Amino acid sequence: MKVFLVYVRDENFCRLLPKELDRSNSGKGRIKVMGFPPLGIQTLAPVLRQHGHRVRMFDTCHPQMQAEHIAQAVAEERPDVIALSFLSTTTYPAVKSLAQRLKLGAPQIPIIVGGAFATMNSDRILGDCPAIDCVGVGEGEELLPDYLSNLADPGSVAGLVWRNGGEIVENVLRPLIGDLNQFPYPDRTSLPIDFIESLPLDVPAVLSLDKFCTMQTSRGCPYACIYCDIPSLARGKWRYRSSEHVLGEMQQLNDMGYRSIYLTDDHFLLNRKRISEVCRGIIERRLQFQWGCEGRVDAVAVDQLPLMKKANCNFLAFGVEAGTQKVLDRLNKKQTLKQVEHAVSEAKRHGIARVHGFFVIGSPGETEEDILASFRFAARLKLDTFGFNRLCVYRGTPLWQEYIDRGIIDDARDWDKWFKCSDIDPSVLSSERVNRRRMKGYALLFARRIFGRPIRTYKLLRIFGRHMKKSDILKLLWSPFRRRTLTRKPDLPARMIELGLEEPERGAVSTM
């Protein structure tokens, strides 16, 4: 069968590399993009080929892979199935409009969608968008080939949610894949796109012009932070590929010339032994790339950090989240400030070049003083970079359920939205106050950095300065103080819209 695999992007998180930065040679017909590769479709393509299917991939970050081009390719090549892949709530409107367009041109070709948001909202999507014929819930490696073999009998495909006439049918849940080592490595060559190691921000922040890709060595996370839907997506399990399988892929990437790899694992740092095996393998094989990953501070196998450094790990991102224990506990983060300090200082002591801290502000119960405490805490830590985002709530998280229980969110009407907590929750400071505190906090943090650690700050700016214009570095430094304009702004819950409220009724709804 012929299958079109289309990755639909959130355009806030990718950019074409500006011409003036495009110094190295790309192959003929290839473009350069600052962003993350579409690992979902790159993973599924070779699996489908192994089953004997022909696959064509599209990624909407490519200027020649926009809705009209995909529609034209559908008309010319008449694939048997169109599979749309996307990650988050923010991309759903684009997926819907693409599905409608493709369906209009080729009503007989089935359209199946999958990915994190689709998994959490399968029945709602089918109820909402007639152009989409079915949703694949969860991992696609076994589900998609099964679906292709049973196009005439969708009822037999575990994990499929589909439309039987007017009725939405949810088949039995497909079990999680037991052995993640059984699949071929992702296809990173068929798309005519070279991804550049960069921060996908509104200012082009290119970190290196090295060949860059992402890789996933494990899936899931056993924790239950209230704002995260990974535990629900991965059913509370952490599953991993063997170190040999991971090293095989790393060897391939190394031989293909990749020199920068980002591990998109939800929690890479969970298993000491595995980290050790992977790192030793990288060292023994003399693999050339630099790599980075994310993880929890309490899991850092401190004794592995020297080995990680030796194995060319140059970036570590920690979910720090807050600088007060009160807020950490409210978020059910199950970590202490002491653990944060320890992990960050050990990572720096062992020479990890860039240690990043993810923070959230505007959490339930957080005061202005708590926000400032987070900035002060960040200033004390030896972090190289940090991001302070306002806490958001997505369907599938414990916080979403809490908001339903508190009467803030109406699941039936709000399911396809995402919210900044400060816009909807009366127990959260108003967005205006959060933003004001953030500006103050950033000013404090920058001042402490520049005057307290001038050499480190200079070195860091030099990393950015290698590929960025001075004016862009200034813009980047200034960006925390500017208002960001997202293509799709967060919504308000149906209840607030109905009542004509632009702010939650602070004090009127009970807090938990």
The residues binding ligand SF4 (CB under 6 A) are: 221, 223-225, 228, 230-231, 266-267, 296, 319
Classify residue 264 by its DSSP letter.
-
Asked if 112 interacts with ligand B12 (CB under 6 A), we say yes
Asked if 58 interacts with ligand B12 (CB under 6 A), we say no
Please list every residue from 303 through 362 that binds ligand B12, using CB under 6 A.
none
By beta-carbon proximity to ligand B12, the closer residue of 176 and 463 is 176
Cβ neighbour number for residue 59 with a 10 Å cutoff: 23
**Alpha helices for 121-194 (secondary structure H):** 122-128, 140-149
| Residue 223 contacts which entry, ligand SF4, ligand B12, none (Cβ below 5-8 A, type-dependent) | ligand SF4
Q: Which H helix or E strand runs over 427?
A: none
Minimum CB separation from ligand B12 for residue 478, in Å? Answer: 20
Asked if 59 interacts with ligand B12 (CB under 6 A), we say no
Whole-angstrom distance, CA of residue 368 vs CA of residue 333: 20
**What is the four-CA torsion angle of 240, 241, 247, 250, rounded to 10 degrees?**
-80
Whole-angstrom distance, CA of residue 192 vs CA of residue 29: 7
By beta-carbon proximity to ligand B12, the closer residue of 10 and 366 is 10
| Residue 419 contacts which entry, ligand B12, ligand SF4, none (Cβ below 5-8 A, type-dependent) | none
229 φ, ψ (degrees, to nearest 5) = -105, 5
Using CB under 6 A, which of 4, 15, 48, 91 touches ligand B12? Answer: 91
Asked if 83 interacts with ligand B12 (CB under 6 A), we say yes
Please list every residue from 384 through 413 that binds ligand B12, using CB under 6 A.
392, 394, 396
| CA-CA-CA-CA torsion sign (37, 39, 41, 43) | positive
Please list every residue from 428 through 467 that binds ligand B12, using CB under 6 A.
none
Token pair recorded at residue 443: 């000013």
Token pair recorded at residue 254: 């190394």
> Which residue type occupies 376?
R
Using CB under 6 A, which of 74, 98, 113, 378 touches ligand B12? Answer: 113
Minimum CB separation from ligand SF4 for residue 402, in Å? Answer: 15
End-to-end CA distance of the chain: 53
Minimum CB separation from ligand B12 for residue 75, in Å? Answer: 21
The 3-state DSSP class for residue 428 equals coil
Please list every residue from 274 through 303 that binds ligand B12, using CB under 6 A.
none
Using CB under 6 A, which of 60, 90, 217, 335 touches ligand B12? Answer: 90
Token pair recorded at residue 124: 């709602």
Minimum CB separation from ligand SF4 for residue 511, in Å? Answer: 22
Minimum CB separation from ligand SF4 for residue 238, in Å? Answer: 9
Evaluate whether 57 touches 190 at the Cβ level (below 8 Å): yes
Token pair recorded at residue 193: 């796109």
| Residue 370 contacts which entry, ligand B12, ligand SF4, none (Cβ below 5-8 A, type-dependent) | none
Evaluate whether 198 touches 181 at the Cβ level (below 8 Å): no
By beta-carbon proximity to ligand SF4, the closer residue of 61 and 355 is 355
Residue 171 CA from chain centroid, whole number: 28
Contact set with ligand B12 (CB under 6 A): 9-10, 13, 35-36, 38-40, 43-44, 83, 85, 87-91, 112-117, 120, 136, 139-141, 143-144, 200, 214, 216, 228-230, 264, 266, 392, 394, 396
